[in-house]
A and B are shown apart, each in its own frame.
Chain A
């Protein structure tokens, strides 16, 4: 171990990453500064706003409250990791179709939380959607369209499963 530096190895969007981090750096800083993933937004930095949400082993977490060295061996997914072969994820398409993006600051985190929800529960009720996105604040207050987009994506995913 280098003095004051910690080696951390994890998977980012399916690809292995090996990098040195300061022990007192957060995952948010590591992603934005060291790895250039600026879709992970720096908002409140105290775990209240959800703008820095990433998926850790498939579950939404706030990267501002995760120490970078603690992601050793984990799988991290950011918005860059959810499209497949250049095609946007059904949630991304639904957010566009429903007009669920205003300023866009909350969008990456919002979509990642929604993806974790649909992966777990492909047919969520309105209440379950509202509960899932409690921790992702949209200060444009565009929740109605965000919820519509998640419902739309849920339908799209179901119908594509049937046609498959």
Chain B
């Protein structure tokens, strides 16, 4: 049995914002419920109110608004993975979500819920970081948009304020077709990442014009590997250069040893997966 709480389901956005304004400390928002119910069962969170936002229409769906992909926070993992728009414009996100949990959870879990739970091992956060996504929040005080780089603060901790709701995930349509997502787990299915890497790249005349590289499960929060990005900026993309750049990733991460893997193993695999991801992204330009 779950601890006791009361259930509220606002029909309109204004109602939800007013409710959270009054009861922010005692409330938890329920989206897909796949993290919240586990946390409540384990006694890690004990809200007085559980606020169901599924009645708010504008929080669902995936659409293109001029050059920006807009994803509603209540869009499910499955919905986004299978969206023709995402497959066409941001295939890296689609590929990453294919590796996410399993079918039942994908039908329930939402993008907004996954981000707000801020798991360091999220398979969603790394592609969104590599794609320079932004997040839009709403509260009674108004609207706030921040880059996703500023959102994660630590395990379970984010920059969202108590009275705010994550209202929209914004992804600028990627210019480059060069990308990769690689996930290492103990098995190929149904596991949390030991490390995951997302790369988005632009190449001009065999030189790296731009690289966005993000890693998950190797720091208290999903991180951008700025050291690697800067090392490769405008560099010729020889095997040796890529290997030297990949070794820099250890300065951008801070892994721990846990049930899944040791910190040393995570460091080694981060280097290997960084190298592989850069090469995988480059290979997409060859076909």
Do A and B bind? yes
Whole-angstrom distance from the CB of B96 to the nearest CB of chain A?
Answer: 15
Decide yes or no: A135 and B4 within 8 Å by CB, A26-B37, A56-B107, A69-B52 being known contacts. Answer: no
Q: Within 8 Å CB of A24, what residues of B?
A: 1-5, 7, 40
State which of B65-73, B98-106, B172-180 sits at the interface with chain A.
B98-106
In this assembly, does A146 line the interface, its C-beta being within 8 Å of a C-beta of chain B?
no
B30 contacts A70, CB within 8 Å? yes
Decide yes or no: A62 and B108 within 8 Å by CB, A47-B34, A67-B37 being known contacts. Answer: yes
Q: Within 8 Å CB of B103, what residues of A?
A: 60, 113, 116, 131-132, 134-135
Which among B4, B41, B78 is the interface contact of A45 at CB below 8 angstroms? B41
Give A141 to B38 CA distance when docked, in angstroms.
Answer: 26
Measured as residues with beta carbon below 8 angstroms from the partner, the interface class of chain A is 20 to 34
Give A46 to B108 CA distance when docked, in angstroms.
Answer: 13
Whole-angstrom distance from the CB of A81 to the nearest CB of chain B?
Answer: 17
Measured as residues with beta carbon below 8 angstroms from the partner, the interface class of chain B is 20 to 34
Number of residue pairs across A and B with beta carbons under 8 Å?
84
Decide yes or no: A70 and B1 within 8 Å by CB, A56-B107, A135-B105 being known contacts. Answer: no
Whole-angstrom distance from the CB of B31 to the nearest CB of chain A?
Answer: 10
Give A61 to B30 CA distance when docked, in angstroms.
Answer: 16
Main secondary structure of the interface of A (DSSP, over half): mixed
Which among B9, B41, B50, B104 is the interface contact of A46 at CB below 8 angstroms? B41
In this assembly, does A23 line the interface, its C-beta being within 8 Å of a C-beta of chain B?
yes
In this assembly, does B258 line the interface, its C-beta being within 8 Å of a C-beta of chain A?
no
A-B contact pairs, 8 of them (CB 8 A): A23-B4, A26-B2, A59-B78, A67-B30, A67-B50, A69-B9, A72-B9, A116-B103
**Chain A residues in contact with chain B, CB under 8 A?**
4, 6, 23-26, 29, 45-47, 50, 53, 56, 59-62, 64-67, 69-70, 72, 113, 116, 130-132, 134-135
**Chain B residues in contact with chain A, CB under 8 A?**
1-7, 9, 30, 33-34, 37-38, 40-41, 50, 52, 54, 78, 101-105, 107-108, 189-190
